[in-house]
Each structure stands twice: as C-alpha cells, then as structure tokens.
Amino acid sequence: MDNSLNGRKALVTGGASGIGAACARALAARGAKVVVADVDAPGAAALADELGGTAWTVDLLDVDSLAALSLDCDILVNNAGIQKVAPIEEFEPAEFRRILALMLEAPFLLIRAALPHMYANGFGRIINISSVHGLRASAYKSAYVSAKHGLEGLSKVTALEGGERGVTSNCINPGYVRTPLVEKQIADQARLHGIPEAEVLAKVMLTESAVKRLVEPAEVASLAAWMASDDAGMVTGASYTMDGGWSAR
Ligand SMILES: NC(=O)c1ccc[n+]([C@@H]2O[C@H](COP(=O)([O-])OP(=O)(O)OC[C@H]3O[C@@H](n4cnc5c(N)ncnc54)[C@H](O)[C@@H]3O)[C@@H](O)[C@H]2O)c1
C-alpha cells in the first residue's frame, strides 16, 4: 500500500460523483483522511463511510456563507462543477452567474479559507480541476469556458503567493471524462449541432483529441494524488493536460 499521504487531511468538493469521487478514493488509498464535500448529502455520506472519511453537506452556490469559513485541510481539491450548453444570445444571465459562483468564486473562497492553516504548517496542496476548456474554447459554453479560464488565473496567483510558504497550486485539464456531467450534455449537444445523440461523442466531443476515447475518472485522480504528494513539490502554477492530445493543436 502507498502511504505517501499518511497524516494529510484532504477536502474534495463535488466529491460524491465522477472525478471528485475518484479523487477522494485515490487520496484515501494513499493514506489521507478525506472530507467529501457535496450538495448531494446521501452521496457524500455513502462515499465518506466507504473511505473512513467524513461528509460535509454544503451548497457551494451559497458563496456568502463561505466568506467567514476557516478550513484545516492540507490538500484542497476544487472540483465541484456544472455545465450548461447554449448559444450566448440564449444564455440566461442568472445561469452564467451561477456557473461563475460555483466554479470560480467558491474555489477562491475555499482557497482563502484553507491558506492560513496551510501557511501555518508550511505545507499545502491546492488542486484545481480545470478542463481543456481552461485553455481552449468551445461554442455554446460561454460560462463554463469563462469560469475555467478564470480558475487558471486564480490557480497561478495562488502559486505565486504560496511558493515561499510550502503551498503549491496547480490545475488539471482533462478532455471529456466518463462522468454524469458529460452524459447529461449529450442530448443538448445533439440538438444544438443538429445530429443524432449517438454521433455526439465522435462528431463533437472527440474531434480534437488524438486519442479517440473518454478519459476515465481514475486517470484524473491518479494525477491529482501525485500532485498532492511530496514528489510534486516543485510543480506549481502549472496546468497539466490529460486531454488525449486535444491541446497539442
Ligand atoms: N466530465 C468531464 O468531461 C470533465 C472534463 C473536464 C473537467 N471536468 C470538471 O471536473 C469537475 C467534476 O465534474 P464531473 O464530470 O465529475 O461532474 P459530476 O456531475 O459527476 O460531479 C459533480 C459533483 O459536484 C457536485 N455539485 C454540483 N453543484 C454543487 C454545489 N452547488 N455545491 C456542492 N457540490 C455541488 C454534484 O453534486 C456532483 O457530486 C467539474 O469541475 C468539471 O468542470 C469535467
């Protein structure tokens, strides 16, 4: 067994499903005590039970309640996210604000809440689950692409401020990952692109990727676990793609 994260406390947002659940499992498997933070209370509780961790039921859209928060985690995985696919002229302004709040403002507030403990210990790992859409754009994803590009900036600023104090901050940039978030957008993508649902994978999601398959959540999680380790101490301010070659174009 790999005990490289023994004694570390990790907090994973959106930890009840998909990439977050895979990260929680990977960090726990290496010895970390994991807090599974999610708006899905039963999902967070079930996984926390399985991992011997704890569940934190939280709606990260309630950003006002995060302003006075103080966190004692050593590893923070900013992962919770949602998607909305629509052309800009039809994109609801309220939906745009919601996506920015959950995927940019909440990560800022959680980093802000976690840094004092990390600075006091001289160790911290901020791992931001960005996306290839943090580096590249796709049509119909104005809010998501804006939030992820913003997260890239936030991550780099965190890296610069934390560098001398033992805190690293990095982004992981996956292409399409096999999770409910992707399954939910297949119908919308089919309608917007005027193609059958069965063709969305090949004609929309994997067109730019050299490796023509979805990323598995466990693959993303293994990179996150390495970023959390002592081995990755010189990795900061970076954005590690796992996009099957998409961003090589
Ligand atoms: N699936 C992909 O193809 C893909 C690719 C690149 C990046 N990402 C990013 O990975 C992250 C996770 O995505 P996923 O595909 O695993 O999604 P998912 O839908 O499987 O899981 C998202 C989790 O976030 C939680 N969540 C949603 N709103 C919340 C809120 N207000 N407060 C607290 N928790 C909330 C959900 O309950 C869920 O457990 C997201 O940031 C996403 O942008 C996903």
Would you kindly state where each structural domain of the chain is located, as residue ranges?
9-177+215-234
What pLDDT, in 10s, does the model give residues 81-108? Answer: 999 999 999 999 999 999 999 999 999 9
What pLDDT, in 10s, does the model give residues 220-231? Answer: 999 999 999 999
What pLDDT, in 10s, does the model give residues 171-190? Answer: 999 999 999 989 888 988 89
Tell me what pLDDT residue 2 has: 81
Evaluate: CB of 176 within 6 angstroms of ligand 1. yes
Q: Whose CA is nearest to atom 14 of ligand 1?
A: 18
pLDDT at 1 > cutoff 80: no
Evaluate: CB of 59 within 6 angstroms of ligand 1. yes
Mean pLDDT of the chain: 97
The catalytic residue positions are 144
Q: Quick one: which atom of ligand 1 is closest to the CA of 22? A: 16
Tell me what pLDDT residue 50 has: 98
Evaluate: CB of 181 within 6 angstroms of ligand 1. yes
Q: What percent of the chain has pLDDT over 90?
A: 95
Evaluate: CB of 129 within 6 angstroms of ligand 1. yes
Q: What would the mean pLDDT of 7-17 be, rounded to a whole number?
A: 98
Distance 206 CA to ligand 1 centre (A): 20
**For the domain with range 9-177+215-234, which CATH number is right: 3.40.50.720, 3.40.50.1820, 3.30.450.40, 3.40.630.10?**
3.40.50.720
Distance 233 CA to ligand 1 centre (A): 26
Evaluate: CB of 60 within 6 angstroms of ligand 1. yes
**In the 3-class helix/strand/coil scheme, how is the chain assigned residue by residue?**
CCCCCCCCEEEEECCCCHHHHHHHHHHHHCCCEEEEEECCHHHHHHHHHHHCCEEEECCCCCHHHHCCCCCCCCEEEECCCCCCCCCHHHCCHHHHHHHHHHHHHHHHHHHHHHHHHHHHHCCEEEEEECCHHHCCCCCCCHHHHHHHHHHHHHHHHHHHHHHHHCEEEEEEEECCECCHHHHHHHHHHHHHHCCCHHHHHHHHHCCCCCCCCCECHHHHHHHHHHHHCHHHCCCCCCEEEECCCHHHC
Distance 179 CA to ligand 1 centre (A): 8
